Chains A and B, each alone.
Chain A
Amino acid sequence: MKRPGSHAAPRAASPSGSRVFLRAVLRLWLVPVALVLWEAGTRAAANPYFPPPTTIVVRMRDMWLTGPASRLWLSDSALENFPPSLGRLFAGWAIAGVIGILLGVMLGRSVVLARFVDPLVHFGRAIPPPMLLPLLIALMSIGTQMQLTTIVFGVVWPVLLNTVDGARYVDRQHVETARVFGFSRGQRLWRVILPSSMPKIFAGLRLSLSLALILMVISELVGSTNGIGFQLRAAERAFDPPGLWGALVVLGLLGYALNLAFFTVERRVLSWHRAAKQTT
């Protein structure tokens, strides 16, 4: 593993504004084309279940954007439904994250404990989360508590399993260095094991986030009196395809925004990992 004397990771230069724009156009040109095709196709087919995008946008505005400018034009309906949905989503994800990381580190570092608990974990993970809904509704009746429990139970697994993986396979040299220099147990955990596991933990959190969105929707479809999922169901019952599609668009935008936000945070927090990998 000989390396030349001077070899260091370069810092990338940031591109100019017009080049960024040009690259964006080259990447995204299919999107407006697809939109136009979608509009034309739905108008031609005149199928009530596939309204044209323009109709969908109008319906969305009627549902959610009729409020005053001071509230970002959000209507009462939007304020009644968006915050509870988002709240459940984030609360469920965060709780599952904390539980998953705590348990994951314990199971990752203790091989014996893991042996006892492994089958339980694999079984729990295999239970399709929607099956919990009838069970939890019977136990807790509909409402936020039931939904949070559904989300947490369904979403904890990716975080848990990834954390176990990350905590179990910490580079041996890191562990030995910590031992040689006499790190305390707390220091070993906070300064070596957790940072080393961060890449895997983040992968688990990302999977959990998309899963949490799905579970939030399905728990609201079945057991809720407010929320985006609830509005989706209401639109179905009222035979309101544009409303249905509108809710779908909102969910798609939400999912996209969550992915983007997560990606940005991950890049910042794990910048050391990417850079270190590049130079080895």
Chain B
Amino acid sequence: MTGRALAGNKVLCGALGIAGLLLVMEAAGRAGLVDPAVLPLTSTILTRVAELAVDGEFLANVGATMTAWGLGLLLTVAVTVPLGLLLGSLPKLETAVRPLIEFLRPIPSVALIPLAILIFPDRLDLKIAVIFYASCWPVLINTMYGLQDVDPVAKETLRSFGFGPLAVLWRVSLPSTAPFIATGVRLAGGIALILAISAELLAGGSDGIGAYVIKAGSSPDGLEFIIAATMWAGILGVVTNSLFIGTERRLFRWHAARAGVTR
């Protein structure tokens, strides 16, 4: 393959980039530029990453985090999407509620964790509650504005054929808004993961990736495991994000084609 063709291959370049960085870091560690006692060698970390993949304890913790994540997200969607549709359909109500949203939204959701620690003795309840508060905003706002973005001509066309407002909502507004809702859920997914792990880090408790990391911190070679767990959290994030995007693209091909949207 010529150099030009090499540079054109996206996957190859990406892989080379990753490999290059790992090699540089490994070399820095071995050459003594970075003290291995402070920052473990890349090869050690990669070994740990592989070990964790089959470590039952770690996988159980991942499961606990993802369970809380999933339940929290489900609750958010179940409550917020209907609420968003309601607010989006009644502009007077939306205008009245909007200042409340503007005041509540900027409150950093992680700041609620200390309060939630006091209120919710059960760790799972705590995580779900905190995830709900943090994730409801992107879903709510995307639903409301997606609804307002619906093409009025499409709605009027259906009305002219004698369909009532509820039918219009179901047959026109909802399918039109669905891509926006999907984007909101994807954003919420990322936020929910951050909140789940933050709650585990702050509230302690026995399960979850955050709890695993705290426990690892107390053992002598714990730093390697902490970094490895962090890598896995990143991989988890990439995988969930890609799944969301893939599903969105598959479900909403018509939307992307019309709007020329790539993200």
The reply to whether A and B meet directly (CB within 8 Å) is yes
Chain A proximity of B107: nearest CB distance (Å): 4
Chief secondary structure at chain A's binding surface = helix
Given A112-B7, A134-B213, A258-B106, A236 contacting B197 (CB threshold 8 A): no
In the complex, what distance in Å separates the CA atom of A120 from the CA atom of B13? Answer: 11
Closest chain B residue to A209 by CB distance? Answer: B106
B83 at the interface (CB under 8 A from A): no
A155 within 8 A of B: no
Contact of B114 among A29, A123, A236, A255 (CB under 8 A): A236
A252 near B106 (CB under 8 angstroms)? yes
CB distance from A75 to the nearest CB of B (A): 21
Query: Which chain B positions have C-beta within 8 A of A129?
Result: 194
B115 surroundings in chain A (CB, below 8 A) = 49, 236, 241, 244-245, 248
Of the stretches B16-24, B50-58, B164-172, the one at the interface is B16-24
A119 within 8 A of B: yes
For window 106-122 of chain B, which residues contact chain A by CB distance below 8 Å?
A: 106-115, 117-119
Which of A49, A134, A135, A217 is in CB contact (< 8 Å) with B119?
A49
- Could you give, for residues 129-163 of chain A, a 1 whenever the CB lies within 8 Å of some chain B CB and a 0 otherwise? 11111110011000000000000000000000000
Docked CA distance A29–B96 (Å): 7
Cβ contact within 8 Å between A127 and B197: no
Instruction: List residues of B (208-261) whose CB comes within 8 Å of A's CBs.
Output: 209-210, 213-214, 216-217, 222-223, 226-227, 229-231, 233-238, 241
- Interface size bracket, A side: 35 or more
From known contacts A30-B99, A131-B213, A244-B118, infer whether A222 and B201 are also in contact, taking CB-CB under 8 Å.
yes
The DSSP consensus for interface residues of chain B is: helix
Given contacts A131-B197, A139-B39, A244-B118, contact A255 B234 (CB under 8 A): no
Counting CB contacts under 8 A, is B148 at the interface?
Answer: no
Is the pair B103, A130 in contact by a Cβ cutoff of 8 Å?
Answer: no
A213 near B213: Cβ-Cβ < 8 Å: no
Q: Are B227 and A135 in contact (CB under 8 A)?
A: yes
Q: Which of A60-68, A96-104, A227-235 contacts B (4 or more CB under 8 A)?
A: A227-235
* Chain B CB within 8 A of A3 CB: no
Chain B residues within 8 Å of A225, by CB:
none
A244 engages B114 (CB within 8 Å): yes
Inter-chain CA distance A127–B117, complex, in Å, is 25
Partner of A128, one of B98, B114, B216, B237: B237
Q: Which residues does B use to contact A, with CB under 8 Å?
A: 7, 10, 13-18, 20-21, 38-39, 95-100, 102-115, 117-119, 193-194, 197-198, 201-202, 209-210, 213-214, 216-217, 222-223, 226-227, 229-231, 233-238, 241
A to B CB contacts below 8 Å, 25 in the list: A28-B99, A29-B96, A31-B100, A112-B7, A115-B10, A118-B17, A119-B18, A120-B18, A126-B234, A126-B235, A126-B241, A129-B194, A130-B110, A130-B198, A131-B197, A134-B216, A135-B223, A213-B108, A218-B198, A218-B202, A221-B110, A252-B103, A255-B105, A259-B102, A259-B106
* Supplied contacts A115-B14, A232-B111, A256-B103, 13 more A-B pairs, CB within 8 Å: A31-B99, A49-B119, A126-B234, A127-B234, A135-B230, A138-B217, A217-B110, A221-B110, A221-B113, A239-B118, A244-B114, A256-B106, A259-B102
